[in-house]
Amino acid sequence: MTTALEAVLQVADTLAVGGIRDRSLCDACLGRLVGRAGHGLTNSERGRAIRERLTIDGGGPCSLCGGLLGEVDKFAALAAAKLAPWDFRTFLVGSKVDPEVVAREELLWTTVGAALAEGIKSELNREIGKRLEARLGIPAEFSRPDIVAVVDTAFDSVNVEVNPLFIYGRYRKLARGIPQTRWPCRRCRGKGCAHCGGRGKMYETSVEEMIAAPVMAQTGGSGHALHGMGREDVDARMLGRGRPFILEIKEPVRRSVDLGAVAAAVNPSGAVEVDGLRMASGAEVTPLKEDRAQKVYRVLVKFAAPVEDGNLKGAGASLVARPIGQRTPIRVSHRRADRTRERRILALEVTRSDRGTAELRITAEAGTYVKELVHGDRGRTTPSLAESLGVACEVVELDVLDIQDTG
């Protein structure tokens, strides 16, 4: 059995060959040259053992770190002070080291070997991290920590990076004329002008702003974003079980959120309701946004000429389960690439008709442009209900009744 210390001493002689005796190094910098030998020791312990074995003098200033490794207690105290105002359950330490120090270390490796060496940054992160773990009583977290303290060793400063917090839920939008997210004014790009009445946005509020307001008040965040499983049109309601979303709060000062109080603040609006709220993680955002759930719509249609119920049902049935070619609609062509894609209608039911108008219940694949499916968008969607009927159709109302996600 080789002890950890023996493992270090076994490689010490290779350092002597590399001319290590001529360098003035602190214990930590000396030990770090073989930092991967001898599990469980600190680099300072490795360094002291090597110094004894090779009878190297100590005491002079370290030619590599200039005394940096003797300052980890100070760096830990600086980091702890910077972290104090923030609420977090997990943390990590990072560091910025003067590039000249890193370059000196790499130059030393070229003469004494780097096979077992550890970099100075890695040691600083670990040693400052160990001291913070002891102060805070929680272990460092490498995967998605709530907060990261980055110590700049050259300036004795600490920069705190606060990761966002995420809340999952479903929203219903019971009123028309509310966009999902803030819609900045196109003329002034948010600054405020005569066109937008100085608000910087085209609508008074949005689903995002209504849900975020009570969460921002609770957390003291610096900003927010709403990630939806798709989006409905401004003038469409979102009914049924609602649309899954994840609300992201940037740089929250406080991370514990009373979700019941959030729902209680949003729901009496009568315009937007939330339920199923729970804390989420950033890893859930991409799968939510990429979910290809089919949607069920209610569409109120007005015909340009009388349409008999039988003809309507026949035209509707002809659209089901066949490819519908949809070129990017005119109404979104200013912000989306012009291309043609194929979608399918899974069901189309006429729930009411009176020759002049009709109400349809349509189940469609994710990404179907439903208004265009009905009116045809001047031939850009084909086949369409208007094309199949031979009568122009106008969409008077559109609601999303259900999003059939797997969650």
Could you give the 3-state DSSP secondary structure of residue 401? strand
Q: Which of 9, 26, 117, 207 binds Zn ion (CB under 5 A)?
A: 26
Smallest gap, in angstroms, from Cβ of residue 135 to Zn ion? 24
Q: Which of 12, 33, 50, 185 binds Zn ion (CB under 5 A)?
A: 185
The residue among 160 and 188 lying less far from Zn ion, judged by its C-beta, is: 188
Could you give the 3-state DSSP secondary structure of residue 163? coil
CA distance 286 to 292: 12
Residue 319 interacts with Zn ion (CB under 5 A)? no
Residue 102 interacts with Zn ion (CB under 5 A)? no
| Contacts for 375 with CB less than 8 Å, ≥ 6 apart | 384, 385, 386, 392, 393, 394, 395
CA distance 250 to 333: 31
Residue 124 interacts with Zn ion (CB under 5 A)? no
Q: Which of 144, 195, 331, 355 binds Zn ion (CB under 5 A)?
A: 195
Q: What is the DSSP string of 258-318?
A: -HHHHHHHHGGGSSEEEEEEEEE-GGGHHHHHH---EEEEEEEEEESS---HHHHHHHHHH
Smallest gap, in angstroms, from Cβ of residue 69 to Zn ion? 5
Residue 188 interacts with Zn ion (CB under 5 A)? yes
Beta strands in 337-376 (DSSP E): 340-343, 345-353, 357-364
The residue among 95 and 218 lying less far from Zn ion, judged by its C-beta, is: 95
Smallest gap, in angstroms, from Cβ of residue 47 to Zn ion? 9
Start-to-end CA span in the chain (Å): 54
Residue 33 interacts with Zn ion (CB under 5 A)? no
Residue 56 interacts with Zn ion (CB under 5 A)? no
* Annotated catalytic residue within 27, 233, 399, 405: 233
The residue among 183 and 397 lying less far from Zn ion, judged by its C-beta, is: 183
Applying CB under 5 A, which part among 121-129, 193-201, 350-358, 360-368 lies near Zn ion?
193-201
Q: Distances from the Cα of 197 to the Cαs of 163, 203, 205, 207, 401, in angstroms?
A: 35, 10, 14, 20, 34
Q: Which of 49, 50, 65, 149 binds Zn ion (CB under 5 A)?
A: 65
| Contacts for 27 with CB less than 8 Å, ≥ 6 apart | 43, 44, 45, 47, 48, 51, 58
CA distance 86 to 162: 8
Applying CB under 5 A, which part among 31-39, 62-70, 245-253, 322-330 lies near Zn ion?
62-70
Residue 135 interacts with Zn ion (CB under 5 A)? no
Residue 196 interacts with Zn ion (CB under 5 A)? yes
Smallest gap, in angstroms, from Cβ of residue 4 to Zn ion? 21
The residue among 98 and 359 lying less far from Zn ion, judged by its C-beta, is: 98
Q: What are phi and psi of 378, to 5 degrees?
A: 55, 45
CA distance 388 to 401: 25
Q: What b/e string do you get for 67-77 counting C-beta neighbours within 10 Å, with b at 16 or more? A: ebbebbeebbe
Could you give the 3-state DSSP secondary structure of residue 329? coil
57 given a catalytic annotation: no
The residue among 153 and 180 lying less far from Zn ion, judged by its C-beta, is: 153
Applying CB under 5 A, which part among 65-73, 117-125, 229-237, 332-340 lies near Zn ion?
65-73
| Helix or strand (DSSP H, E) at 152 | strand 147-152
Smallest gap, in angstroms, from Cβ of residue 64 to Zn ion? 5
Q: How many residues bind Zn ion (CB under 5 A)?
A: 12
Is the Cβ–Cβ distance between 403 and 230 less than 8 Å? yes
Task: State which residue has the least CB distance to Zn ion.
Answer: 185
Residue 62 interacts with Zn ion (CB under 5 A)? yes
Instruction: List, by residue number, the catalytic residues.
Output: 233
Q: Which residues bind Zn ion (CB under 5 A)?
A: 26, 29, 62, 64-65, 69, 185, 187-188, 193, 195-196
